[in-house]
Amino acid sequence: MLEGRAIAVEPLIRAENLVKHFPVTRGLLIGRTTGHVKAVDGVSFTIGRQETLGLVGESGCGKTTTSRLLLRLEEPTAGRVLLDGQDVHALRGAELSRYHTRVQAVFQDPWSSLNPRLRIRDTIAEALVVNRRVTRAGKLERVEEVLHQVGLPLSAAARYPHEFSGGQRQRIALASALAAKPELIVLDEPVSALDVSIRAQIMNLLKDLQARQQLSFLLVAHNLATVRYIAHRTAVMYLGRIVEHADTESLYRGPRHPYTKALFAAALPADPDAPRDDMILTGEVPSPIDPPSGCHFHPRCPFAMEQCSRVAPELKAVAPEHLVSCHLY
Amino acid sequence: MTAAAPVVLDVRNLRAYLYTRWGVVRAVDGVSFALREGETLGLVGESGCGKTMTGLSLVRLLPEPAGRIVEGQVLLEGEDLVTKSEAEMRRIRGRRVSMILQDPQTSLNPVFTIGDQILEALRLHHGDGARALTGRAEEALRRVKVAAPEQRMRAYPHQMSGGMKQRVVGAIAVAGEPRVLIADEPTTALDVTIQLQYLALLKEIQARTRLAMLFITHDFGIVARMCDRVAVMYAGRIVETGPTRAIFRAPRHPYTEALMGSVPRMEGTVTRLPSIEGQPPPLHDLPGGCRFAARCAYVDDRCRREYPPTVPIGPAHGAACWRVEPSPSSR
């Protein structure tokens, strides 16, 4: 899985202790803050060149907010995102435009991410014109290039989004992300809205593009098998924190954190005779407005000890490239 | 064990079409299957293959006025539902056959409390007084593992999580003690750990009531976990049907085989997934011959000309493909 992946000394992107709290207000005119949704609560990771980091967790765990912080769609409450050592949220003017060409995104829903009134070539070219001066001919040439890269016929350029199926639209979304020659693409649930038979096509395309164009991916997904197939490293999030972070192979072979174990056990089996490790969690994910004290997972954890409700465990290495945040280790 | 149980739902050559301005959409195009007491049949397919329309035809809730059952029978304990009047159907739905939809939000009324909605369902089935009904409603909530049912009765749908709402929908669906439950992707909108809780709950209800379940899904994982038998649907027709184990071990229709092969797995490393190129044909413009022909790796001339018959290949296992040889042991 790992062959062909360049291990760079300095990672492309580095998130340092990212925190994002959203205020919860009460009252219509004179809003008064009554609390904070702790969507992201101290998250750190790196993504190397030509590497994919998978971010998994259930809804409300903060994985999408984390990806939005990376895309600069949100300002962090604390912490930094560094691209090649530069603080992303401090960028202004030309440097900021350059950032937006280097980091692109593809979202879950290919039906809502494309402007229905623009021809495909204009949608794709938009990504080029926003940040750079390009000649008309240069623009068309680039459009044809990226359409070819995502496996669409050149005739697609003159057509409108409604003429395409879900899978093809996701290819178009990918083409417009590629147009500006980015280094990192944030993929937020890129295949979960697609049909089963189409998913493999898109996942294979993502892998091919990464290999051919030295792309880095941040893959946000809830489907564990998808992440295993694409990501080199995987981080598991629960209530705004990373609870386990490891090389994908090592994580899937031996998950350590009780939440990761429960999450993996809840994944549906590949066949009826697959060994079953039933660990059905009771209750639901608590509210991120007032998360439990200590380890956020302790009220649902079958192995909770006395200290778990008092002390938040640190993320520490239990094996090479395998970090776990749990008092059991 | 299940083989000896009586058949409660027998669907014979069902055709349900949608008459639209783009033409006739042949959503359900000759579908037959039987469902026994206490058994779960998985109806698997991709979006637009007709699996939801099949489910809706069984309870006669096809979209009006476009949808119409044009042929076939839906025999519920021997009675044909296709010929029933709407008034008769109203007495049958909920009491003898129920349906759970994907999104609990669309099944619950946002302006009534959970209690009101469960009571409404119960009132249709029981002539009890108000106090007895409230007791029944709380009991129904307790059975779907909703904590503190007395308080939850007063809650509105928006005050509950998705998993909790889907439990309430489940409670309403089984309140009338139906014989058949049609579950149309009931867990697709739920998180994985909540999904597992919900699937376990359905199994438990089934064990208690001997419900026959038709589980509509696109996910083979759910089939592996929930279903005794599987029917794989493609472009309006069932292309393969058989016991879950047999289908997982040796899928015989090229579509089943390709679809199962293209799903990434949790265990084992795969460098490259085989994928099915192309996409399903539009249901208003179906090709002659086998509908999978354009995407099939083994296609030949005959496949493009004639639709293959369903060939028996094992105990209760059959596939509609020209390549499949009938097995002598299945006679």
Q: pLDDT value at position B102?
A: 85
Partner residue facing B266 (CB), from A203, A228, A262: A228
Distance from C-alpha of A199 to C-alpha of A243, rounded to nearest angstrom? 28
pLDDT in tens, chain A (329 residues): 444 444 445 799 999 999 999 988 877 777 778 888 899 999 999 999 999 999 999 888 999 999 999 999 999 999 999 999 899 999 998 889 889 889 999 998 877 888 999 999 999 988 777 666 778 888 889 999 999 999 999 999 999 999 998 889 999 999 999 998 999 999 999 998 888 888 999 999 999 999 999 999 999 998 999 999 999 999 999 999 999 999 999 999 999 999 999 999 888 877 888 777 667 777 778 888 888 999 999 999 999 999 999 999 999 999 988 999 999 98
Distance from C-alpha of B115 to C-alpha of B123, rounded to nearest angstrom? 12
CA distances from A194 to A114, A190, B277 (A): 15, 8, 14
Q: Taking the CA atoms of chain A, what radius of gyration do you get in angstroms?
A: 21
Partner residue facing B218 (CB), from A196, A228, A274: A196
**Band of the pLDDT at B329, cuts 50, 70, 90?**
low
> What is the tens place of the pLDDT at every residue in B286-308?
998 999 999 999 999 999 999 99
Partner residue facing B265 (CB), from A270, A281, A285: A270
Quote helix, strand, coil % in chain A, to nearest 5. Answer: 35, 25, 40
CB proximity B148 to A under 8 Å: no
Residue A151 Cα, gap to closest chain B Cα (Å):
11
CB contact under 8 A, B265 and A264: no
Which stretches does DSSP call E strand in chain A? 13-26, 32-47, 52-56, 78-83, 86-87, 103-106, 184-188, 216-221, 233-238, 241-247, 316-319, 322-324
CB B26 within 8 A of CB B15: yes
pTM score:
0.87
CB A108 within 8 A of CB A189: yes
Distance from C-alpha of A322 to C-alpha of A250, rounded to nearest angstrom? 7
- Secondary structure class of A278 (helix, strand, coil): coil
Partner residue facing A263 (CB), from B46, B192, B200: B192
**A222 backbone φψ class: left, alpha, beta (φ>0; ψ -120 to 50):** alpha
Q: Which residues of A touch B164 (CB under 8 A)?
A: 284
CA distances from B194 to A241, B3, B155, B191, B217 (A): 20, 31, 20, 5, 17
Q: Would you tell me how many other CB atoms lie within 10 Å of the CB of residue B82?
A: 18
Q: Which residues pair with A83 in a beta bridge?
A: A13, A86
Instruction: Name the amino acid, one letter, at A59.
Output: S
Residue A103 Cα, gap to closest chain B Cα (Å):
26
Side-by-side strand order, sheet with A32-47: A32-47, A13-26, A78-83, A86-87
For CA atoms A257, A258, A260, A264, the dihedral sign is positive
CB proximity B275 to A under 8 Å: yes
Interface test with A, best of B190, B197, B219, B275 (most A CBs within 10 A): B275
Residue with tokens 């099939």: B296
| Assembly ipTM | 0.81
- Secondary structure class of A255 (helix, strand, coil): coil
- Chain A to chain B, count of Cβ pairs less than 8 Å apart? 117
Q: pLDDT value at position B3?
A: 55
